[in-house]
């Protein structure tokens, strides 16, 4: 499954990038990320939770930042260390200046088949809801870390 989303925000590219370059910030604006904490060697423990009606599914991933070109590009990839094979999760964010501030393009790739169309629907719905939360945060004149 591959999902793409874009957002134009009334702020500088650097300010917008500060919200997507560190997974610890994601729970503030992306509801399906319930926790993202730094762990060993520059990795994050990321808890995902999706709900569709009465059904809920949780997943813990170990993610690493495999690309970081501030303030324009970041890439996170699943990197488990338990010796087993896992479905890939890849999240990329690109930020560019535009006439109205900054444009964010995010791409999510999930290589597993668990809950296929249901997971895609949950993620698409969450993308729409997260736009408003992220816009409110980047528009806050106090800036990152003020909350």
* Sequence-separated (6 or more) residues with CB below 8 Å from residue 24: 36, 37, 38, 44
pLDDT above 90 for 70:
yes
Residue 29: name the closest of 98, 118, 127 by CA.
Answer: 127
**Helix 116-138 and helix 13-20, axial crossing angle in degrees, nearest 10:** 140
Instruction: Please state the domain extents for the chain.
Output: 2-138
SS3 125: helix
Q: Model's pTM, two decimal places?
A: 0.87
> What value does the mean pLDDT take over residues 21-26?
96
As its CATH architecture, domain 2-138 has 2-Layer Sandwich (3.30)
Say yes or no to pLDDT of 144 above 60.
no
pLDDT for position 102: 97
Average pLDDT over residues 88-105: 96
Give φ, ψ of 35 to 5 degrees: -160, 140
Q: Which residue has the higher pLDDT, 80 or 120?
A: 80
For the ranges 50-59, 104-113, 129-138, the lowest mean pLDDT is seen at 50-59
pLDDT digits (tens, 9 = 90+) for 24-58: 999 999 988 999 999 988 899 999 887 767 877 78
Structure tokens, 106: 């995010």
């Amino acid at each position: 499954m591959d999902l793409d989303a874009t957002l134009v925000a009334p702020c500088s590219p650097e300010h917008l990038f500060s919200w997507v370059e560190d997974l610890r910030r994601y729970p503030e604006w992306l509801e399906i990320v319930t926790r993202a904490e730094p762990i060993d060697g520059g990795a994050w423990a990321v808890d995902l939770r999706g709900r569709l009606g009465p059904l809920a599914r949780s997943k813990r991933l170990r993610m690493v930042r495999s690309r970081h070109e501030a303030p324009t590009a970041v890439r996170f990839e699943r990197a488990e260390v338990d010796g087993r094979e896992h479905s890939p999760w890849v999240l990329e964010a690109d930020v560019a200046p535009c006439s109205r501030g900054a444009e964010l393009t995010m791409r999510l790739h999930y290589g597993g088949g668990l809950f296929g169309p249901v997971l895609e629907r949950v993620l698409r719905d969450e993308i729409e809801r997260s736009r408003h939360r992220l816009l409110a945060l980047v528009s806050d004149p106090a800036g990152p870390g003020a909350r």
